[in-house]
Structure 1
């Protein structure tokens, strides 16, 4: 599976997403995690930056931090990291300005820019500094101009609204003394009124008007007369660009003391006060001048905006390239902070985990990094031996990535153990389809997944913020297989939107006259008569069962329940057999005899035997047979299994046999005894083996030469005396043995009990399949048939409405809700019932230093 010729690797070949050495779906690479090697890198300081940059592009190295006890602010490249942080701050500011102005930022092309070399970093810093300063100056000028424009606009509205207020007072001839007192007098001073009344005019935020009015009334005890008018058009906030609604007001008062109070209230409510002449001519002249200044200022604002747009559009073309370059640069310096300097301060030393198959790729990246900086001393890689458990790395592509994610969600596989994801690609959609089995609903799921698969490149470029959509899109290949398998099981069940297809013609036929059928509403056809041809339906369930209202559910119950038990037991046996592969690979041969064989025998001799009885019953008993092998005398498999466990005997009718074959009682006793004998082997075998092997190991160690004792040849008696004189060591060994016995007891009890509970757990395949079929039938009967039973045009309209309701409920309930339920149950069957037989899940994920992964994670966070 992996022995074919491999293309020459390059330093830019990605590791994650698509395999670096395999372009297709290599299932052999998924059988177990890849072999890893712990390596030491020796790099010259001048070649460190380009070399790490090449490794980041390759994405096949996981660095170890050699400075765990060193503070982040005391590391060698902390200043360079701070420079990168400052560049990121500038880029965030530029991006915020682009988004504020609605400038479109073009997407990146396929080829991302590489990390800048140290010489380019200085030019990039200078360019970003200049760009930020220019945008800051433009923004500051724009804010100042907009502030002036806002003030002039508010002054214009104040002059217009105040003119209306004062014109109303001048044109009033009523007898109200207050109104007559408020008529302005043509005299010097813009706030002087007849009877020493004055006024102030301005604008106040609309939401503050009620409180503003109450405060004026309280400070003056009702001696301030307030006139106000709302501005219909919103104004623009110069700083934020948000719309603000304001109200023009004129407050009339008497006396300087009250004037001072009114102005303080205006200041407290952020009201802007503007000068307002008392005469009509002066107001008109001021208004004319304000309008002229507004026109000039508006022209300047437009020119400033156009210039700002040209600057921002030019920056937008390079923004994403700058962001990628700075993020790569920052990642490089963070990685270099994990390196150590040698004693001579002339070489950087780093440690990393590397897949053995990518060692050539890493060496090539180091060579390219040295050539990029012109270093005369090459960097080299040294593979070192270690007892530390390496990380787990399963090379995936876009098809297998979703299935691997399902496994890793439960727990990362231990290093080099069998990877369940390989078998999950088939077993997961198949078990799902058993519960979801409807060809019509499976067709909907298949078409939905096919849309995401065929247009995956276009859809992947659309950065959706919907978490549900991202989950569905990430598992599009899983959904596609689930839909295809559901179509297959729907054909086997002969179920298409709760209806059956009669493609090959039913093997049942009616041999009764019309009168007999009319007098028997629940009439059953006898398979022992001429009503049955004796030949099975070519594919799936005979469609005549759709009409069997009396015993349809009974037949499907028995059929699907036995299928679920059969598939469950086979699935668990397969899981136990996978543990054999792990034992052989890790050379734990004693586990084969002390764990694998007893577990397999216990499962096969009890529940495998029950499955065999189901097949024997299907083959041996038929409606046309004699009495002893007729369905009437067929033993109940479940009762037979229970009697086997309890050593009981069942009561059978005359002429029938309790057993299905001769000698079955002897076979059952033998199977039960062997299965029970497997329990003490599982319970005591491994601990006793450890005790025996431990003693042998100590004796073997005692017979050797003790070089640490200056060449003295120690005798076994001397060594035994020495070890026995260490009470702490002896106590520790006893504690380990007690712990081993306890753990093995827990493991044995869990396995023995789980064989029963896990087998029963697979009955969910039957339960959900039956529930799905019945719910689909209810939707058809209660909803769609309402439109089919009506006549004339009313029936057509009703059918149109009912079809819409039926289609909506089908997608919402049967496809989405039932599909999610079946998905979760299938996930549980794999995590608990299947993987617990061989999957330890004690590893940790291989997380390579990859620019592609880093950029994707930061994009998702944004």
Structure 2
């Protein structure tokens, strides 16, 4: 938990590994997940690195596994996932894996090719079967038209006209037969024909093309195949139609076949004699039955192969990805001149050095090497990565902070404070005992069902966001229940737990006939003892409830805001002290605190004085509720040095207030040039002193030369961070100015000063969103109750019961959808803004980069997410 407040101390190390032991050592480090390697070959092309062939082999294995996975998913076979992560195989095991995957892929492709060929034959035989059936009908109907004398032409025309209506005979058929019959001049008319199948959606265009290309000299008959046919290439269901085309002459035959080819129609041989057609049909049926048997056996063999592969597919993916990740990492290393040793540089957490040494020794033992690895710490001026250890509870809060910016090295981390302040400020806006309970129960359900829900890996982004923030949702719900109890608000109603401190001294007739009655706090209407906790329930039925709660919630919003900002400024003090930046303490922290306390914290103190000093039952007229001065007017007059208007009441809350306020404003205004000029002037002074610093004489005794250097660095430390402050791990969160020009320093300091001074005003006003959203949430809940559920409660009898059941369902849906989800999201975003802008801007730079260790767990998780997408 220590690193949650400030990032882990990191160190840059140099790692020497024997070539034979490098693979096993990197494998152990990948399981550990605590080392971030640096690329020592940034200028080397990826295809020119030492282990590029091994990476390509892994890519090829992964391609084969993806092919197997696609085939397994196509058949709907469940893949076994034990949740365990097997260790990375040894390099010699790659050959066995490659051979296994090669065998499976070849076997599966051969089975698929055979199945596709069988299905294609089956499709052709099925189409031929339908052609033989349909053409038999065509020939039976059109027999008089083929080879009949001219005197029978009128009879054929009548038959063709009748069948045109039933079988959708194209007009081109009638014209073609009429033309052919007219040209026969009493001779026998002998027509040729072709038969085939075509996709049903292409048939209309096919008919039009035949009509235009053959000029009406062909006769087309077609009939639909009722059952869909399976496309052997992709397995889709397609609908086709059988057609037969009659024509005369070889020229038309050639033209018809070309049109059929253009429309991808399949032509089949169809005998003219009925006996030949029957024999062919019987042969086709026999072959279809044989093909069905062979297809079934082929599918059974394919299924067995895929079931056997599905049992090991997840583990194979893990093994291949681990091997690939190891060789990718080895490509970041350098080879020494002897080609027998690999050299790496890596960032490691200082506290985990011993754990990493043990993992390296374990990897060396596994590889059988006798040369131990060497891990040396290096000196560097480079900024190390930021590493905050998190668990499943703190991870979501850390993610909120990192979304704004990763903390600079060793900078104060806002996450531990956000764990409390985030749900609390959310609850101030979302204060409702009922709505908070719904949110808390939802979060608690996700927490209790954490393991089974995590096992159901889904690509639903909204659900993943909810599940990732389950602890945040649970805490927001619990805190909202607390603030709802303080507001005494549950679904826009109040709880009378302790009994109201107000009593009604009017009789029943007076109460029933007068809607506007007032209860006087100074009389016997009020007991004098406030409600034990929260708001008295009598305010729920009061007409001036909004006026009372407005003033109350607005004041507590300002109080929480000022305290939150002050806390952020004090957190910045810990940064200055850790980086030994005394100049920032004297030139930034102290004037910032004075400015904020003397103006805005003083305003919050006036609120407490007003609450405790003025009351309705006070005998002193100047301390009665009517004489309580306005805090806002008092603050404005204070800043403008404007004396308050004197009336019957004393405008001041205590003696000497006028002089104290003038003193506070003057000191606060003096803090502005203090913040603006003090730091640049001190930097100028330290630079002049450094320029005139005498060179220390060289001496070998007691390290005098080093002492002179340290003396020079101490001078620099007054205005800047020491250059060697990050010798074992970078410069961190200190903001040095060694290489900046003075003009830039003045400009930057002016920007920061203006930002802080104006930000103190705007940020304080920004916290009023706590009051605004709380008021809006309460009013929306009340409107929903009065306009929806109240109507169901006013009806009686069994009709009223049914109506109440329906109306309650509507009210519940609107409550969850609008008040919990939409209002909850709105309050969440406003709370996020208060932390990112108002709170973190006081101390948080967020200019670091995240620690990204070589971790098999992270690699496998990202790979599984990308494959699901």
Instruction: Tell me which residue corresponds to 1:680.
Output: 673
Instruction: Tell me which residue corresponds to 2:514.
Output: 520
Q: Does 1:695 align with 2:688?
A: yes
Instruction: Tell me which residue corresponds to 1:324.
Output: 318
Which of 435, 440, 465 is the aligned partner of 1:441? 435
How far the C-alpha of 1:818 sits from its partner, in A, is 0.3
Instruction: Tell me which residue corresponds to 2:459.
Output: 465
- Looking at structure 2, the residues matched to 734 and 44 of structure 1 have their Cα atoms a distance apart, in angstroms, of 42
- Looking at structure 2, the residues matched to 702 and 843 of structure 1 have their Cα atoms a distance apart, in angstroms, of 36
Most deviating of 223-232 and 739-748: 223-232
Which of 746, 749, 762 is the aligned partner of 2:751? 746
Instruction: Tell me which residue corresponds to 1:855.
Output: 860
How far the C-alpha of 1:194 sits from its partner, in A, is 5.8
Instruction: Tell me which residue corresponds to 1:264.
Output: 258
- Looking at structure 2, the residues matched to 552 and 324 of structure 1 have their Cα atoms a distance apart, in angstroms, of 63
Which of 214, 218, 224 is the aligned partner of 2:212? 218
Most deviating of 818-827 and 228-237: 228-237
How far the C-alpha of 1:102 sits from its partner, in A, is 2.1
How far the C-alpha of 1:218 sits from its partner, in A, is 1.0
Q: Does 1:819 align with 2:824?
A: yes
How far the C-alpha of 1:206 sits from its partner, in A, is 1.5
How far the C-alpha of 1:700 sits from its partner, in A, is 2.3
How far the C-alpha of 1:271 sits from its partner, in A, is 0.8
Alpha-carbon distance change, 735 to 822 in structure 1, aligned in 2, over 3 angstroms = closer
Within 5 Å, which residues of 2 pair with 1:273-284? 273-284=267-278
Which of 134, 154, 172 is the aligned partner of 1:175? 154
1:87–1:326 CA contact under 8 A, matched in 2? yes
- Looking at structure 1, the residues matched to 836 and 123 of structure 2 have their Cα atoms a distance apart, in angstroms, of 65
Deviations 1:58-100 (A, max 9, x none): 1100000000011111111111111111111111111122122
- Looking at structure 1, the residues matched to 231 and 739 of structure 2 have their Cα atoms a distance apart, in angstroms, of 78
Give the TM-score, by structure 2 length. Answer: 0.90
Unaligned runs of 5+ in 2: 146-151, 161-172, 175-186, 713-736
Q: Does 1:384 align with 2:378?
A: yes
Alpha-carbon distance change, 230 to 775 in structure 1, aligned in 2, over 3 angstroms = same
Within 5 Å, which residues of 2 pair with 1:603-642? 603-625=596-618, 626-642=620-636
- Looking at structure 1, the residues matched to 758 and 64 of structure 2 have their Cα atoms a distance apart, in angstroms, of 62
Most deviating of 88-97 and 294-303: 88-97
Q: Secondary structure at the match of 2:92?
A: helix
Q: Does 1:117 align with 2:90?
A: yes
- Looking at structure 2, the residues matched to 225 and 802 of structure 1 have their Cα atoms a distance apart, in angstroms, of 68
Alpha-carbon distance change, 171 to 701 in structure 1, aligned in 2, over 3 angstroms = farther
Deviations 1:605-637 (A, max 9, x none): 100000000000000001111101111110111
Q: Does 1:544 align with 2:517?
A: no
Which of 654, 659, 667 is the aligned partner of 1:661? 654
Deviations 1:781-812 (A, max 9, x none): 00111111223332222212211111111111
Which of 548, 551, 567 is the aligned partner of 1:574? 567
Give the TM-score, by structure 1 length. Answer: 0.91
How far the C-alpha of 1:588 sits from its partner, in A, is 0.7
Alpha-carbon distance change, 330 to 207 in structure 1, aligned in 2, over 3 angstroms = same
Which of 156, 159, 162 is the aligned partner of 2:129? 156
Deviations 1:240-261 (A, max 9, x none): 1111111111112121111111
How far the C-alpha of 1:178 sits from its partner, in A, is 4.7
Instruction: Tell me which residue corresponds to 1:784.
Output: 789
Which of 35, 42, 46 is the aligned partner of 1:61? 35
Which of 477, 480, 489 is the aligned partner of 1:483? 477
Deviations 1:2-49 (A, max 9, x none): xxxxxxxxxxxxxxxxxxxxxxxx3x3311111101011000011111
How far the C-alpha of 1:105 sits from its partner, in A, is 1.3
Q: Does 1:403 align with 2:422?
A: no
Instruction: Tell me which residue corresponds to 1:102.
Output: 76
1:633–1:653 CA contact under 8 A, matched in 2? no
Alpha-carbon distance change, 103 to 179 in structure 1, aligned in 2, over 3 angstroms = farther
Most deviating of 245-254 and 806-815: 245-254
Instruction: Tell me which residue corresponds to 2:4.
Output: 30
Unaligned runs of 5+ in 1: 1-25, 184-192, 720-731
CA RMSD in angstroms comes to: 2.1
Q: Secondary structure at the match of 1:354?
A: strand
How far the C-alpha of 1:305 sits from its partner, in A, is 0.7
1:169–1:179 CA contact under 8 A, matched in 2? no
Q: Secondary structure at the match of 2:297?
A: helix
- Looking at structure 2, the residues matched to 601 and 536 of structure 1 have their Cα atoms a distance apart, in angstroms, of 36
- Looking at structure 2, the residues matched to 500 and 174 of structure 1 have their Cα atoms a distance apart, in angstroms, of 97
Instruction: Tell me which residue corresponds to 1:598.
Output: 591
Q: Does 1:832 align with 2:837?
A: yes
Q: Does 1:349 align with 2:328?
A: no
- Looking at structure 2, the residues matched to 346 and 206 of structure 1 have their Cα atoms a distance apart, in angstroms, of 70
Alpha-carbon distance change, 241 to 168 in structure 1, aligned in 2, over 3 angstroms = same
Most deviating of 792-801 and 604-613: 792-801
How far the C-alpha of 1:856 sits from its partner, in A, is 0.4
- Looking at structure 1, the residues matched to 129 and 311 of structure 2 have their Cα atoms a distance apart, in angstroms, of 41
Instruction: Tell me which residue corresponds to 2:234.
Output: 240
- Looking at structure 2, the residues matched to 239 and 763 of structure 1 have their Cα atoms a distance apart, in angstroms, of 66
Q: Secondary structure at the match of 1:596?
A: helix
Instruction: Tell me which residue corresponds to 1:23.
Output: none
- Looking at structure 1, the residues matched to 635 and 303 of structure 2 have their Cα atoms a distance apart, in angstroms, of 82
Q: Secondary structure at the match of 2:692?
A: helix
- Looking at structure 1, the residues matched to 375 and 484 of structure 2 have their Cα atoms a distance apart, in angstroms, of 57
Q: Secondary structure at the match of 1:118?
A: coil
2:144–2:156 CA contact under 8 A, matched in 1? no
- Looking at structure 2, the residues matched to 180 and 260 of structure 1 have their Cα atoms a distance apart, in angstroms, of 28
Instruction: Tell me which residue corresponds to 1:288.
Output: 282
Deviations 1:139-166 (A, max 9, x none): 1111111111111111111111111222
Q: Secondary structure at the match of 1:320?
A: helix
- Looking at structure 1, the residues matched to 738 and 300 of structure 2 have their Cα atoms a distance apart, in angstroms, of 82
Q: Does 1:765 align with 2:770?
A: yes
- Looking at structure 1, the residues matched to 760 and 309 of structure 2 have their Cα atoms a distance apart, in angstroms, of 66
- Looking at structure 2, the residues matched to 541 and 470 of structure 1 have their Cα atoms a distance apart, in angstroms, of 38
- Looking at structure 1, the residues matched to 154 and 796 of structure 2 have their Cα atoms a distance apart, in angstroms, of 81
Instruction: Tell me which residue corresponds to 2:354.
Output: 360
- Looking at structure 2, the residues matched to 89 and 234 of structure 1 have their Cα atoms a distance apart, in angstroms, of 34
Alpha-carbon distance change, 704 to 746 in structure 1, aligned in 2, over 3 angstroms = farther
Deviations 1:378-399 (A, max 9, x none): 1110011111110001111111
Deviations 1:348-374 (A, max 9, x none): 100000011111121111111111111
2:36–2:852 CA contact under 8 A, matched in 1? yes
1:196–1:255 CA contact under 8 A, matched in 2? no
Instruction: Tell me which residue corresponds to 1:189.
Output: none
Instruction: Tell me which residue corresponds to 2:725.
Output: none
Q: Does 1:73 align with 2:42?
A: no
Instruction: Tell me which residue corresponds to 1:306.
Output: 300
- Looking at structure 1, the residues matched to 508 and 71 of structure 2 have their Cα atoms a distance apart, in angstroms, of 85
How far the C-alpha of 1:106 sits from its partner, in A, is 1.3
Q: Secondary structure at the match of 1:202?
A: strand
Alpha-carbon distance change, 591 to 704 in structure 1, aligned in 2, over 3 angstroms = farther
2:41–2:333 CA contact under 8 A, matched in 1? yes
Within 5 Å, which residues of 2 pair with 1:502-517? 502-517=496-511
How far the C-alpha of 1:128 sits from its partner, in A, is 1.1
How far the C-alpha of 1:174 sits from its partner, in A, is 8.6
Most deviating of 748-757 and 618-627: 618-627
Q: Secondary structure at the match of 2:241?
A: strand
How far the C-alpha of 1:110 sits from its partner, in A, is 3.4
Which of 17, 25, 49 is the aligned partner of 2:23? 49
How far the C-alpha of 1:461 sits from its partner, in A, is 1.0
